[in-house]
């Protein structure tokens, strides 16, 4: 896909939407216990180079870190079919310490869609 990962920042949460959805053997039922890779050669290279210590452990590690820091678990939404969304709520401690706004408010702090990608996309010349 030629779509970027999208990051949305709200007053009370951050949402990340990843194009492509789940891949191969992975389904909403067995996620995150099963892994499959669009490019297994790159996945293996990342492991050999030390960027990955064990396959299928990243989601568990992130969930543990979030809980230890008072944020609660991230929520994975697979209902989009062509993408999946991760929602991470802001810690209650963040609001208790006077940051952010009212927890009931869900308007966007930054309404623009902040897009990130790991590869450069060629832009057409604007003439």
In CATH, what number is assigned to the domain containing residue 52? 3.30.565.60
Average per-residue pLDDT for the chain: 75
**Of 28, 19, 33, which Cα lies nearest the Cα of 79?**
28
DSSP output for 29-74: TTTTT----S-HHHHHHHHHTTS-SSTT-HHHHHHHHHHHTT----
pLDDT band of 75, cuts 50, 70, 90: very high
Weakest mean pLDDT among 12-21, 66-75, 83-92: 83-92
In a domain, 118, yes or no: no
Q: Full-prediction pTM beyond 0.85?
A: no
Q: Which of 85-89, 107-111, 119-123 has the lowest mean pLDDT?
A: 119-123
Q: How many domains does the chain have?
A: 1
CA-CA distance, 53 to 10, in Å (whole number)? 32
102 assigned to some structural domain: yes
- Rounded distance, CA 46 to CA 73, Å? 26
Residue 120 forms part of a structural domain: no
pLDDT of residue 25: 93
Model confidence at 45, in pLDDT bands (50, 70, 90)? Answer: very high
Task: For residue 53, tell me if it sits in a domain.
Answer: yes
Structural domain that includes position 21: 5-110
Q: Is residue 115 part of a domain?
A: no
CA dist., res. 57 & res. 61, Å (int): 6
């Amino acid at each position: 896909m030629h779509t970027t990962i999208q990051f949305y920042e709200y007053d009370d949460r951050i949402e990340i939407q990843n194009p492509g959805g789940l891949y191969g053997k992975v389904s909403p039922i067995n996620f995150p216990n099963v892994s499959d890779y669009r490019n297994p050669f790159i996945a293996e290279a990342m492991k050999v180079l030390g960027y990955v210590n064990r396959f299928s452990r990243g989601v568990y590690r992130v969930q543990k870190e979030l809980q230890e820091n008072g944020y609660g678990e991230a929520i994975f939404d697979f209902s989009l079919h062509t993408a999946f969304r991760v929602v991470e709520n802001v810690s209650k401690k963040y609001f208790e310490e006077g940051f952010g706004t009212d927890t009931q408010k869900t308007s966007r702090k930054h309404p623009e869609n902040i897009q990130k990608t790991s590869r450069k996309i060629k832009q057409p010349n604007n003439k």
